[in-house]
Amino acid sequence: MSATASRTATVAGVEVPTDHYINGERVQSAQTFTTISPIDESVLAEVSRASVGDVDLAVQAAHDAFPAWAALGAVERGRYLHKLADLIDKNIEPLAQVECADMAMLLRSLRARVIARGALNYRNYADLAVAYEERDWHSKGTWNRVQRMPAGPAAVITPWNAPFMLSTWKTAPALAAGCTVVLKPAEWSPLSCSLLASLADEAGIPPGVFNVLQGIGAEAGAALVAHPLIRRVSFTGSTRAAREIGQSAARNITPFTAELGGKNPLIVFADADLDAAAAKAAGQYDDAGQVCLSGTRLLIEESVLDTFLEKFHAATDAHVLGDPREDATTVAPMIHPDHVARVAGFVDRARESGQRIVRGGQRGEGLFYEPTLIEPTGNDAEIVQNEVFGPVLTYQTFADEDEAIRLANSTNYGLSGIVYTSSMGRADRIGRAVRAGVVWVNTFLVRDLTAPFGGVGNSGIGREGGDYALDFYSDLKTLQILDGSVA
């Protein structure tokens, strides 16, 4: 490994550094890995593949930079984060172009909201950290105050879907709380996070405070979460990987948070606006179904099933599979050949086990997979119980609220739920009964960044968002002073 002029690749007309960003410098690895574009499977770049030595270099840099960054205080740290947010806003177009090429999210979505959400994350957490008020109270002859202490170097491991936004969502509270960061983006879509490192450098964030390692999860990710100098681990990804990361973090008694997958219900009652519900259900095919919060289990009150399905099919027929750079496209290709094969495997096994493929169920050209709807033979079917993470929905019917709740809570997941009803009383009852980190009623993907976010069961542990995230990246201390003992 060596610190040198960074190797770069030209992606969508943008020069992207392909080496790590460690201690304020670009650092090469002897080995590389290849990242391809899901749009046409062309090679985008050869990216530095972190070794254990690279991981140690990055963690040591974060460790060394931590005392000074923590000592700055929330106001000074916030100035850096606001400058970084301003730079993101100025670079929305190149960031969007690179992420579109690398991950195939719709370019218009990246331009309109997703990249800008990264800037909002930094501003939001910078301001929340400054506004934090320590809790004071009097008890048993003493004056008490709860104080936040920055925890130390944090390992942040992010997934391949919406990599830029999700990286900012995690690094923003860590940096605002006074932690230093080593970010490892997913190997299938690493390039926009490399641009984030360049913007952090331009914002003047001190060397070692923000580091980015490119690498393979089983190699660099494993070494990162096991490092004894890491004091927090934040992960978004699969339940299987989270189990391994959690075990590794536990060996060092390192606090760990994980936002994982979902098998989320979308519940439609007979009193709902069926046009809106059907359109939202068909909208779950957006981003090729590669959204952990998507409502992939359609639960429909049996009296309106035929009407709902008619409207759902009409809305799904309006989808356009195509190039994510084109405005007409509504469903883009999937991320990687291996992931297409995984999704196809779920559908093939469903077909072989007697589940009815109502529509779709076939691969398209390249990395496309048809929007698919399956009627399962029973609630215990694999296609109902396990996360597919692709454009594959199931539907089941229910007779009443009790059955709807039973079906909604019948998997090991609990990330989100979506409910369509015109009754406030029912919205409250179902909202309380569904076991999930968030339940939307008559809407979807509306986020207040101060609200807690996370899952239950196989959907995760811990909460992100607002003060919940700032508390995670802090050690809480109670200062207690005897009355009358100090002047």
Name the residues annotated as catalytic. 259, 292
State how far the Cα of 175 lies from the Cα of 178, in Å rounded to an integer: 5
Count the Cβ atoms, other than its own, within 10 Å of residue 133: 5
CA dihedral over 52, 199, 454, 440, signed as positive or negative: negative
Collapse the DSSP code of 50 into the 3-class scheme (helix H, G, I; strand E, B; otherwise coil) and give the result: coil
State how far the Cα of 362 lies from the Cα of 347, in Å rounded to an integer: 8
Task: Please give the single-letter amino acid code of residue 261.
Answer: G
Exposed e or buried b per residue across 378-388, where buried means at least 16 C-beta atoms within 10 angstroms of its C-beta: eeebebbbbbb
Residue closest to 332 by CA, chosen among 341, 323, 344: 323
Exposed e or buried b per residue across 165-197, where buried means at least 16 C-beta atoms within 10 angstroms of its C-beta: bbbbbbbbbbbbbbbbbbbbbbbbbbbbbbbbb
Residue closest to 11 by CA, chosen among 80, 76, 73, 102: 102
Q: How many helices (H) and strands (E) does the chain have?
A: 16, 23
Q: How far is CA 113 from the centre of its chain?
A: 15
State how far the Cα of 250 lies from the Cα of 367, in Å rounded to an integer: 38
State how far the Cα of 434 lies from the Cα of 265, in Å rounded to an integer: 9
Q: Where are the alpha helices (DSSP H) in 137-273?
A: 163-177, 191-202, 222-226, 239-251
